[in-house]
Amino acid sequence: QAAMVDENDAQAKALGYVADAAKADKTKYKQFAAGQHCGNCALYQGGAAPAGKCALFPGKEVANKGWCSAYAKKA
Protein backbone atom coordinates (compact mmCIF):
# COMPACT_ATOMS: atom_id res chain seq x y z
CA GLN A 1 0.00 0.00 0.00
CA ALA A 2 1.30 3.41 -0.97
CA ALA A 3 1.89 6.19 1.53
CA MET A 4 -0.91 8.60 2.25
CA VAL A 5 -0.79 12.08 0.78
CA ASP A 6 0.34 14.57 3.41
CA GLU A 7 -1.73 17.75 3.56
CA ASN A 8 1.53 19.68 3.69
CA ASP A 9 2.89 18.25 0.44
CA ALA A 10 3.28 20.90 -2.25
CA GLN A 11 0.71 19.28 -4.54
CA ALA A 12 -1.75 18.87 -1.67
CA LYS A 13 -1.41 22.51 -0.72
CA ALA A 14 -1.75 23.63 -4.34
CA LEU A 15 -5.02 21.71 -4.65
CA GLY A 16 -6.31 22.40 -1.16
CA TYR A 17 -6.33 18.68 -0.32
CA VAL A 18 -7.49 17.71 3.15
CA ALA A 19 -7.80 14.18 4.54
CA ASP A 20 -11.16 15.16 6.06
CA ALA A 21 -13.56 16.83 3.63
CA ALA A 22 -15.22 18.60 6.54
CA LYS A 23 -12.00 20.58 6.91
CA ALA A 24 -11.92 21.84 3.32
CA ASP A 25 -11.23 25.57 3.08
CA LYS A 26 -14.74 26.69 2.21
CA THR A 27 -13.72 30.34 2.08
CA LYS A 28 -11.08 29.72 -0.55
CA TYR A 29 -12.97 27.00 -2.40
CA LYS A 30 -16.51 28.27 -2.90
CA GLN A 31 -17.31 25.28 -5.07
CA PHE A 32 -17.18 22.95 -2.10
CA ALA A 33 -20.55 21.39 -1.33
CA ALA A 34 -21.47 19.14 1.55
CA GLY A 35 -21.30 15.48 0.63
CA GLN A 36 -18.35 15.86 -1.71
CA HIS A 37 -15.40 13.63 -0.85
CA CYS A 38 -12.78 11.58 -2.66
CA GLY A 39 -14.91 8.45 -2.36
CA ASN A 40 -17.52 9.87 -4.74
CA CYS A 41 -15.08 11.75 -6.99
CA ALA A 42 -14.53 10.55 -10.54
CA LEU A 43 -10.77 10.53 -10.00
CA TYR A 44 -10.82 8.23 -6.97
CA GLN A 45 -9.63 4.72 -7.75
CA GLY A 46 -10.14 3.15 -4.34
CA GLY A 47 -13.75 2.08 -4.71
CA ALA A 48 -15.21 1.70 -1.23
CA ALA A 49 -11.78 1.36 0.42
CA PRO A 50 -10.80 3.93 3.06
CA ALA A 51 -7.86 5.03 0.90
CA GLY A 52 -7.04 4.79 -2.77
CA LYS A 53 -5.18 6.24 -5.68
CA CYS A 54 -6.01 9.51 -7.39
CA ALA A 55 -4.45 10.45 -10.71
CA LEU A 56 -3.51 13.86 -9.33
CA PHE A 57 -1.32 12.35 -6.61
CA PRO A 58 0.87 9.74 -8.32
CA GLY A 59 2.52 7.20 -6.05
CA LYS A 60 0.40 8.06 -3.03
CA GLU A 61 -3.08 7.45 -1.76
CA VAL A 62 -5.81 9.86 -0.75
CA ALA A 63 -8.40 9.30 1.95
CA ASN A 64 -11.90 8.22 0.92
CA LYS A 65 -13.15 10.94 3.25
CA GLY A 66 -10.72 13.51 1.80
CA TRP A 67 -11.34 16.33 -0.63
CA CYS A 68 -9.46 18.64 -2.98
CA SER A 69 -10.38 21.53 -5.26
CA ALA A 70 -10.20 19.31 -8.36
CA TYR A 71 -13.18 17.30 -7.11
CA ALA A 72 -15.39 16.07 -9.94
CA LYS A 73 -18.58 14.21 -9.09
CA LYS A 74 -18.52 10.61 -10.21
CA ALA A 75 -21.04 10.01 -12.99
The answer to whether 71 contacts ligand SF4 (rule: CB under 6 A) is yes
- Write down the least CB distance from residue 47 to ligand SF4, Å: 12
Residue in 41, 47, 49, 59 binding ligand SF4, rule: CB under 6 A: 41
Whether the CA torsion 50, 55, 56, 60 is positive or negative: it is: positive
| Residue 51, CA distances (Å) to 2, 26, 29, 31, 65 in order | 9, 23, 23, 23, 8
Q: Which residues bind ligand SF4 (CB under 6 A)?
A: 17, 38, 41, 43-44, 54, 56, 62, 66-68, 70-71
